[in-house]
Chain A
Amino acid sequence: DQQVKQNSPSLSVQEGRISILNCDYTNSMFDYFLWYKKYPAEGPTFLISISSIKDKNEDGRFTVFLNKSAKHLSLHIVPSQPGDSAVYFCAALMNSGGSNYKLTFGKGTLLTVNP
């Protein structure tokens, strides 16, 4: 049973417009949510995170929104740039005992920003 779901395998937007990537989760015990960006032939890199007690976190062009009641989060990129073209993974963090935390990833969404 997948606990973190990214239902859109791909998204295509025009340069300068807004990109909205969505993510749903099922486990209310997650205490942090993170977005990772991955280019081909590279490892994922951390982009932005949000605590489960917050509803918004902003960092430059990137904003993550969290709706706990709906168990839904979204990543907004404004304005989108061609260099943002990558696979975006949503991930959820939970304490699995003591000081051990584990990330659970969604399947990813391929974002293509067209010039």
Chain B
Amino acid sequence: NAGVTQTPKFQVLKTGQSMTLQCAQDMNHNSMYWYRQDPGMGLRLIYYSASEGTTDKGEVPNGYNVSRLNKREFSLRLESAAPSQTSVYFCASSTRSQGPSNYGYTFGSGTRLTVV
């Protein structure tokens, strides 16, 4: 009963390096999301995928790309990391198929990324 799994849990990058954050869910949810959490800023949406095959920009998409590989997996890529991308990244998934009580998202445990 894993829910949403994110890898890696921690990563340190040098400025200019690239990396991909992986996210997978086993709940058969249609929608998946990437958020970043910064001190005093709450959770801000980077990109989301309403369903397999679609992706859209959120509030803070600059410097990121995403791929919805299949229904289970949604990856976030940093092509050229910058110190401003130091943050904790959360992946989430959701479905409305079971009614209003399940409108909430299920989050992964996060990836703590430091760019030096």
Contact = CB atoms under 8 A, between A and B. Distances in A.
A100 B48 CA distance: 10
Interface string A12-53: 000000000000000000001010100001111110010100
Contacts, number: 65
A49 to B, nearest CB: 6
Question: Among the interface residues A36, A46, A89, which one has the most CB atoms of the partner chain B within 10 A?
Answer: A46
Interface in A46-96: 46, 49, 51, 89, 93
A51 B107 contact: no
Contacts of A103: 33, 45, 105
A44 B107 contact: yes
A101 B105 CA distance: 10
B40 interface: yes
Interface string B98-116: 0011011111111000000
Contact of A98 (B50, B94, B103, B105): B50
B74 interface: no
Contacts of A9: 40
A16 B48 CA distance: 40
Question: Among the interface residues B43, B96, B101, B103, which one has the most CB atoms of the partner chain A within 10 A?
Answer: B43
A58 B94 CA distance: 23
Nearest to B44: A105
24 contacts: A32-B100, A34-B104, A36-B104, A42-B109, A43-B4, A43-B92, A43-B109, A43-B110, A44-B90, A46-B106, A49-B100, A49-B103, A51-B100, A89-B42, A93-B103, A98-B50, A100-B56, A102-B45, A103-B33, A103-B45, A105-B35, A105-B43, A105-B44, A107-B42
Interface of A: 6, 9, 32, 34, 36, 41-46, 49, 51, 89, 93, 98-108
Given A36-B104, A107-B41, 12 more contacts: A32-B100, A32-B103, A42-B109, A43-B4, A49-B100, A49-B104, A99-B51, A100-B31, A100-B50, A102-B45, A106-B42, A108-B42
